[in-house]
Structure 1
Amino acid sequence: MQNFEFQLSTRIVFGRDTIKQTGAEIARSCRKVLLVCGKGSVRRSGVFDAVVASLRDAGVAWVEFGGVRSNPLLSQVHEAVQLAKREGVDGILGVGGGSAIDSAKAIAAGAASDRDVWAFIDGTATVEKALPVFAVITLAATGTELNGLAVVTNDITKQKWPLRSPLIQPRVSILDPTATFSVPRDYTAYGGVDAFSHVVEAYLVWPEPSTPLQDRMSEALAMTIVEAAETCVRSPHDYEARASLMWAAALGWCGLIPAGAGRARLPNHMMEHSLSALHDVPHGAGLSAIIPGWARYMVESGQSGKLPRLARNVFGVNEKDDRKAALAGIAAFEAWCQRLGSPTRIGQFGSIPKSALPAIVDNAAVTAIAWGMGDAYPRDVIAAVLDGCW
């Protein structure tokens, strides 16, 4: 096990009817917040009204920045930063899924600085301070509620890269599983795939060779996500399944599971970020379309790694031969995605022709270098992997 440091500074408020505590939690440190949310689902579900009522009861003023889109854009972050500065807010509240919370984090960094937010993302500047961030989660998926990461797409360069800083980690995150009851089947599925990929992709590629504890925690989370996501798709109001999926998603990307296993490089995320930056597909759907092709490439190139173990311990594959087990595990993952209703090939999106492949590969090759993965994933390898995803 490698040396590591781990600190989870977020206060977690989990359970039924916890959204009503939002205002009181924020009032401990802020008097006026920028409320960042999406295009309408939080209003239709009643979550927005519940949050606003809680703020009002606690005496916290707020100004809304709505319309955050899936795969949040840098241009929207810029607009919100200016609004936050004009209004003199002293905190940022994200209400929604990963896009709203990631936007809130990036806004918090920008509102406390004169630097362009992208400078914090491309590494030309470091976040030195940020406004306090608070989160109310309405989608079990990204785990953004418990980490210091925010993914933003640069509208001009079409680069979808992360902002990393402990200063943007939420101070308080409200996780009420009932807030996910109204999530549509497709986004429930995409969220489940995203949560699964965070756990499993790291498990498959982290550098430390001896990780029995991390492996077993990962497998337990992955099994829980597989089971809970299917139940949520079948029975949207199943509280226990929604609660399990929500908590598993949060734990899967908070840094606890891989602690001691070394920093994992995430090739599927690297390639999917290019796919969704250029074609605006839902992140989880993009992952489910890429992971099988990547896994097959790894098997065929003699790099099966822990794929056979994943197949046996998570998907129940009973096969002694490692190669056959790995391929059976890939088929089991595809079958799970199909039961959820998530694509398993890029071609299934319909709107992305095969002729788009070179541009996606070019974008991903730049991202691979920026993420320190250019040695293992040069352009020809990325092209081979993605070609097998159609």
Structure 2
Amino acid sequence: MKKLCLLAALATLAACQPQEKGYTIEGTLTGDSIPEGKVYLQKQLPFEVMRIDSAVMEHGKFRLQGQINQPEMYTLYIDTRTNPQESPRGKVFVTNFYLENSPITIEGEFDCLPSIYWTPDRKVIPPVIKGSATQDLYQQLLTTLKPYSDSLQAIDRQFLEEYTKPMMADREHKKDYTDIGINLVTKQADYQQQYIQKVKAFIQQNPSSVVALDQLKALFSGLTVNFNEKEITEMKSWITDAWQGTPQLAELDSMVNVITPLALGNKYIDIDVENPDGKSVKLASLIPSGKYVLLDFWASWCGPCRAEIPHLVKVNKQYKDFAIISISVDEKREEWLKALKEENMSWTQARIADGIMGNTVKKYNITAVPTCIVLDPEGRFYKVNMRGPALDKFLKETYQH
């Protein structure tokens, strides 16, 4: 009897304790004509998108409610299609934001919502999100970065109008666009460096925030590693104490373990490759000592890779002391050999036989091509993202000073 009374008392006490609250999202979209649709709350996992909640949108209004373990980046996915087979262009809209267990409002103009497709001349205004302190912190960061991101976007437009389009139109190569490209890439690198410095300062100032953690992961997750090993260790130390013992820090540790061997200043990684004669050789046997060397990872099916090859032909003729090794990730040998013949690639060629999805390419953490890395004369990782004007800038500074 006493045991039953004790259990009843504990149950009553538990009922009186304040319960942990979840999130509520109240959405309001305005506009002249807003179709009905479905709203989904999504979370990006490593290899899939997980939908955790959904609601019907009527007259621009929707409501989502639930609970999460900790603040994280989620995606609000608004689908106004009447048929799932219909094109999502102009019908599906997405907004990324930091969700936390609090009352949150999302307000925006329907006709200006960010879409999953970029449309020229379409005005885009992100919705206003209130009620999430984590999102507020993220928005503060975006505001700090805006002058630099705006400048980088402007330079991208300059590249298109002053470099890419004119070169494509000038099929007879009547004009040399090298200096134009170098000037633009120099400005771009300056703004990129300022952008990164602001991000680094934010991480140091907010080490316990998931926003800082995500920003650090973003710096470590590019196609190539643009930091040396000492920098990687120092940057990780900024958030270690705040995240000690958490799965998030374990995930970051795994990322660091992958990228550290590829850090600037470290020796290149030797791998097995196939030469055009079909023999398996070591990459080390192809790399000359005492020279700067470009490792150009590419594929015959990659449009940007093929577009860069005429530039490499020019570089190979002009800079005799600079070595190029193009390493294909083609799975089909015949397609690789066909491309070599079509492109007249007269420098050193090799292929990773198990392709871009195999284990060999993972040693360089390559998930997409083209990936272009310069080694110094001692065979250490020296420069990354060395394509087009960026490569021209390096070559001019190195060989024409």
TM-score clears 0.5: no
- Tell me the TM-score normalised to structure 2 length: 0.32
- Tell me the TM-score normalised to structure 1 length: 0.32
Which protein has the larger Cα radius of gyration, Structure 1 or Structure 2? 2
**Comparing both structures, which one devotes a greater share of its residues to helix?**
1
Higher relative contact order by CA 8 Å / sep ≥ 6: 1 or 2?
1
**Comparing both structures, which one devotes a greater share of its residues to strand?**
2
